[in-house]
């Protein structure tokens, strides 16, 4: 019986390299075209800006050792059907160690937040902030967004300088 360990070894060595590889070349300010699960669902998604640290709203404070980071998204419906979703469900921020953080359900003073749900007709746009609570020591290096509350396989990634 003949063994083929070289291809397996190559694959095992490549996995850590892929995990440490830089994200896509898209950066804050770039627009990415994403598709949803349903036929006709398409958005042009722009990460307009990242506010880090973001100040909390009047009645909110981050947990001890944490801070808020606010990301402003612009969603333009380029599809043929009405898009209805909760954008915050499909958004995450990523730190230099690869940890991912979901929405904190808090508002910040960075600007108006997305409501719980948005409805965007074809050709129309929605703009809003999503606020994340992250450890004070984490350095945010990326933002991800996927349509359909994060269930779409088409995921946009932006580098944060």
Pairing relationship of beta strands 31-35 and 91-95 according to DSSP bridges: unpaired
Q: Which of these, 29, 24, 34, 71, lies nearest to 46 by C-alpha position?
A: 29
Residue 121 lies in a domain: yes
Cα separation of 50 and 142, whole Å? 10
Q: Give me the CATH number covering residue 38.
A: 2.60.40.1240
Whether 3 is covered by a domain: the verdict is no
Domain-located, residue 9: no
The band of 106, judged by pLDDT with boundaries at 50, 70 and 90, is confident
Structure tokens that stand for 86 in this block: 């909760």
Cα–Cα distance list, 93 to 50, 100, 135 (Å): 10, 6, 12
Tell whether the model's pLDDT for residue 48 goes beyond 50.
yes
For residue 24, name the pLDDT band (cuts at 50, 70, 90).
low
Query: What average pLDDT does range 58-69 have in this prediction?
Result: 89
pLDDT at 31 over 70: yes
How does the average pLDDT of the chain come out, rounded? 86
Does some domain include residue 30?
Answer: yes
Q: What is the pLDDT of residue 17?
A: 34
Give a yes or no: residue 143 inside a domain.
yes
DSSP the chain: ----HHHHHHHHHHHHHHHHS---S-BTT-EEEEE-SSTT-EEEEEEEEEEEEEPB-TT--PPTTEEEEEEEEEEEE-SSS-EEE-GGGGEEEEETTS-EE-B-S--BTTSPBP-S-EEE-TT-EEEEEEEEEEETT--EEEEEEETGGGT-S-EEEEE--
Residue 144 has φ and ψ, to the nearest 5°, of -125, 150
Average pLDDT value for residue range 71-90: 97
Number of domains in the chain: 1
Q: Where on the phi/psi map is residue 40: left (φ > 0), alpha (ψ -120 to 50), or beta?
A: left
Task: Using the predicted structure, report yes or no on whether residue 154 has a pLDDT greater than 50.
Answer: yes
Question: Does 106 reside within a domain?
Answer: yes
pLDDT number for residue 21 = 38
Q: Decide if 64 is inside a domain.
A: yes
- In which domain, by residue range, is 66 found? 23-159
Q: Compare 129 and 57 and report the one with higher pLDDT.
A: 129
Please report the pLDDT score of residue 16 as a whole number: 38
Instruction: For tokens 């402003």, name the residue.
Output: 72
Let me know if residue 36 belongs to a domain: yes
Q: Which tops the pLDDT comparison, 108 or 95?
A: 95
């Amino acid at each position: 019986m003949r063994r083929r360990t070289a291809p397996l070894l190559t694959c095992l060595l490549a996995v850590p390299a892929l995990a440490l590889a830089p994200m896509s070349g898209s950066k804050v300010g770039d627009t990415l075209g994403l598709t949803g699960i349903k036929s006709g669902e398409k958005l042009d998604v722009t990460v307009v800006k990242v506010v880090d640290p973001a100040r909390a709203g009047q009645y909110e404070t981050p947990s001890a050792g944490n801070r808020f980071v606010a990301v402003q998204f612009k969603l333009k419906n380029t599809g043929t059907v009405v898009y209805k979703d909760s954008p915050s469900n499909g958004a995450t921020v990523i730190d230099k160690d690869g940890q991912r953080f979901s929405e904190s359900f808090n508002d910040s003073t960075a600007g108006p937040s997305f409501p719980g749900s948005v409805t965007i007709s074809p050709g129309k746009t929605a703009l809003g902030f999503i606020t994340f609570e992250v450890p004070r020591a984490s350095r945010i290096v990326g933002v991800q967004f996927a349509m359909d509350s994060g269930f779409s396989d088409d995921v946009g990634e932006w580098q944060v300088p």
